Chain A
Amino acid sequence: MSEFKSGSLTARNIHLAFGSNKVLRGIDLHVPRGTTASVIGPSGSGKSTLLRVMNRLIEPDAGDILLDERSVLADNPDELRRRIGMVFQQFNLFPHKTVADNVALALNKLRKLPKDQARAKALEQLDMVGLKHKADARPGNLSGGQQQRVAIARALAMEPEVMFFDEATSALDPELVKGILALMTDLSKGGMTMVVVTHEMGFCRNVSDTVTFMDGGVVVETGPPDELFSAPKTERLKGFLSDVL
């Protein structure tokens, strides 16, 4: 699985405030092509907001975002988002469309593939996540794990250069988490550039190339997982790790 046309992603000195609430205060993040960056931190630390700023669902107040070393802030944000896939905690599948249509919608409307070709590609993508046989079911009739697989297939169908995972396993029953993590591991090994906001420390340690610890809207520590987990430098990371491990 190395058919991904991955790109590198860089965030430089990102600032964002909602009113007087400074959510991001000068975030730097560099994710080289084909690598997986995990972002950890207590809730409210700005991790999910950072993802939304990097695909410009929320526009930053200051800073720069680079995809393949090129700033994308001047681009049309809709076109930027077609290059970045995103998977959500709550799956966010479209309940009024079938599983296949969920995957085919953007292919047909945005990639302008004819309906039959969009469906064929959607089925291919669903096959990859093991759910081709559910193509004509409604999302509401699938388990959480199956829904998240469809959401991943939907994002991958657009052939993104980077994939974002926003606590993709947090809403799943414990027995379904492993399946999704296994799928994410496959993607990572296959050379997809990934930014993974997660509480799954096992995944951080074993799969990701770098781990970034955020707290209070800043990056407190960043580095290879071995370093961060075995020798945290700051008290804040030590405290966080002792809370979650």
Chain B
Amino acid sequence: MDALQQLLKTFFDWQAMGGVIPQMLTVGLPNTLILAVSSAVLGCILGLVLAVMGISRNPIPRWIARIYTDIFRGLPAILTILLIGLGFGPVIRILTGSTNPFPLGIAALTLMAAAYIGEIFRSGIQSVDRGQLEASRALGFSYTSSMILVVIPQGIRRVLPALVNQLIALIKDSSLIYLLGLLSSQREIFRIGNDAAANTGNLSPLVAAGVLYLVLTIPLTHLVNFMDKRMREGKRAKIEPDEVAAVVGKGA
């Protein structure tokens, strides 16, 4: 019984949890969301650029996109964050006088996310039937207009579930930003839990952090499943017979 009591106290000390939750919600949650959402948005923009470069008929942009993707998809997140954050930190401080690690943290997360998002967009765009580009060009649209108006919108729609997965990954990876050194007000969910755990010698604040991450990510996971299912089965479409053709067919 003692062992069970011990475990419960280690992981589910309600008092230790209660103490840390207000700060987690008012400080940690907004910071985590700022990191994850802004790097997701920037990652999408950079990812789209990489995707378009990746399908270019010109080999130079294609190779640049390839090399970029290989590097940033192949490095551990922690290494990229440390190299970017610590490496460029002093430069930023000299240029702007700012010691805020958020811009560089967001930059590192963006660079990594863009490598994945670029591949997601590229596969989506390439999965669009060639006839779409052909039909658009046959109407008189240029290659660029055809891509912007017809091909890319369809490609992006198909990969929305994969993009949401990427947002989930960013929410989790944003916890690594603590490595760059955060002021009290800059801490995100994990760091607040970790600090409290270190101070109290009890893991319950980390469990609280875990629960908060799950509150963010599980609905997104189910959103992905829903979108996937919707795309596979489609909105129930009612196909009516071609009345005009049927009439012609009957008469003849």
Enumerate chain A interface residues (CB-CB to B < 8 A): 55, 57, 78-79, 81-82, 84-86, 88, 90, 92-96, 105-106, 109-110, 130, 138, 140-146, 149, 151, 154-155, 158, 175-176, 178-180, 182
Contact = CB atoms under 8 A, between A and B. Distances in A.
B154 A95 contact: yes
B1 interface: no
A176 B137 contact: no
Given A92-B135, A143-B240, A176-B249, 20 more contacts: A57-B138, A78-B137, A78-B140, A78-B141, A84-B138, A88-B135, A94-B136, A140-B234, A140-B237, A141-B239, A143-B241, A151-B135, A154-B139, A175-B246, A176-B245, A178-B252, A179-B242, A179-B245, A180-B245, A182-B248
A84 B141 CA distance: 12
Nearest to A107: B139
B135 A158 contact: no
B137 A81 contact: yes
Interface in B100-146: 129, 131-132, 134-142, 145
A143 to B, nearest CB: 4
Contacts of A81: 137-140
By Cβ-Cβ distance, the 7 closest A-B pairs, closest first, are A179-B245, A82-B140, A92-B135, A145-B242, A86-B138, A92-B131, A106-B139
14 contacts: A57-B137, A88-B131, A92-B129, A92-B134, A94-B136, A94-B154, A110-B141, A145-B244, A146-B242, A149-B244, A178-B245, A179-B244, A179-B245, A179-B249
Interface in B174-223: none
B150 interface: yes
B233 to A, nearest CB: 12
Nearest to B137: A57
A180 B135 CA distance: 19
Contacts of B131: 88, 90, 92
A141 B140 contact: no
Given A82-B139, A106-B140, A94 B150 contact: yes
A103 to B, nearest CB: 10
Contacts of A176: 242, 245, 249
B149 interface: yes
Nearest to A174: B249
B248 A178 contact: yes
A175 B249 contact: yes
Interface of B: 129, 131-132, 134-142, 145, 149-150, 153-154, 157, 234, 237-242, 244-246, 248-249, 252
Given A90-B131, A96-B154, A179-B249, A143 B142 contact: no
A105 B248 contact: no
Contacts of B241: 143
Contacts of B149: 105, 109
A86 B135 CA distance: 8
B230 to A, nearest CB: 13
Contacts of B248: 178-179, 182
Nearest to A89: B131
Contacts of A57: 134, 137-138
B249 A178 contact: yes
Contacts of A158: 139-140
A110 B145 CA distance: 10
Contacts of B137: 57, 78, 81
A245 B241 CA distance: 29
B134 A143 contact: no
B244 A130 contact: yes
Given A94-B132, A179-B249, A55 B242 contact: no
A36 to B, nearest CB: 19
A78 B139 CA distance: 8
Contacts of A85: 138
A191 to B, nearest CB: 22
